[in-house]
Structure 1
Amino acid sequence: MKTEVFTATVVGIGEDAQMLMDDGMMILFNETAPKDLYDISFVHNAEGLNEDLEAGDELIIDGEVFSLTFVGGKANETLRDLGHATFQFNGETNSDLPGTVCIEAKPLPAIQVGSTIVFRKK
């Protein structure tokens, strides 16, 4: 059985978050997000990350499963401490930005308040 290490419910959506999503990028932040970051973020209520993420783990958005292809060197720390991560749905196996998590490229579901976001180990 696969272990869930992060479970969140979307509680707010910044006015520019969907525009970034249309370009294959999603910014996640917990409820402490400053105003300028709230505007571009999907805001959630999760407590933090229970175990570090790595390539091959899964992101599940409203039941739709995506495979992680790369986890930047700072991504686990910021997700654990701030509930923050930047996701790029590009299937890349590397990124110059240490806080980025790359995820397989496939169509994204519509995210709304009440949507669930889960990470689980492979």
Structure 2
Amino acid sequence: MSVFETKVQAIGSEAALFKEDNMLILFGDNAPEGLKDYAYQIIMNQAKEDITTDMVLSICQTSFVITAVGNLVTKNLNQLGHITMSFTGDSTANLPGTLYLEAKEIPEITEGTEIAIA
């Protein structure tokens, strides 16, 4: 059962630049102008419970083990639709709004791409 589900509804013109650094930025409808170009805009949905390292994030058909969770991830996701996803495998959450995931190739993300946490 999914704890959180969303779809990408728009892609900022510079969003793919962060893939080179193994990062993605998600933002809901209200992304500030300075960040909109760098973010994948998602449909705002609420997480059904706190996100933890016992969970897995899926992008399309690719799953990523969650390795660390910043203490603001669930709150920011629920209020702003905003988190940074770091695909580095770090086991310590150094940044409060960042979700850390296992280090493996990030799939191509297009409008309509589904993202889920279970």
* TM-score, length-scaled by structure 1: 0.92
Q: Paired residue for 1:20?
A: 18
Q: Distance in 2 between matches of 1:116 and 1:46?
A: 13
Among 45, 56, 59, the alignment partner of 1:47 is 45
Q: Paired residue for 2:74?
A: 76
Residues 5-63 of structure 1, C-alpha deviations (whole Å, 9 max, x = no match): 11111011111110101210010111111221111101011322111100131110012
Residues 47-102 of structure 1, C-alpha deviations (whole Å, 9 max, x = no match): 22111100131110012111100001111110111111011000001132111110
Structure 1 unaligned regions, length at least 5 = none
SS in 1 for 2:76: helix
Q: Paired residue for 1:90?
A: 88
Alignment RMSD? 1.0
Q: Distance in 1 between matches of 2:94 and 2:57?
A: 21
Amino acid at match of 1:10: V
Structure 1 residue runs of 4 or more that deviate by more than 3 Å after TM superposition: none
Q: Distance in 1 between matches of 2:97 and 2:43?
A: 20
Structure 2 unaligned regions, length at least 5 = none
SS in 1 for 2:35: helix
Q: Does the CA contact (< 8 Å) of 1:61 and 1:109 recur in 2? A: yes
